[in-house]
Amino acid sequence: MPELPLEPEENVDPRSDCPVCKKAVRADSPTYPFCCARCRTIDLGRWLDEDYVISRPIEQSDLDEE
């Protein structure tokens, strides 16, 4: 049996893994690429958190506060 070459993830099949919980998600899912609305909300929250961290560099005063 010949070995199949690894394809880029986008082209494997019309499914994807939920970025939050890694469950397989169908491309025709209403919440694609997330498995459910809850994961979509979680991912959005992560992005907002990340943006907040990046846009505000850590300063010495932050380290002293706690």
* Annotated binding-site members for Zn(2+): 18, 21, 35, 39
Question: Residue 51: helix, strand or coil by DSSP?
Answer: helix
Q: Which of these ranges, 6-14, 15-23, 47-55, 57-65, lies near Zn ion under the rule CB under 5 A?
A: 15-23
Under the binding rule (CB under 5 A), the answer on residue 16 touching Zn ion is no
> In the chain, helix, strand, coil percent, each to 5?
40, 10, 50
Under the binding rule (CB under 5 A), the answer on residue 53 touching Zn ion is no
Question: Residue 24: helix, strand or coil by DSSP?
Answer: strand
Residues that bind Zn ion (CB under 5 A): 18, 20-21, 35, 39
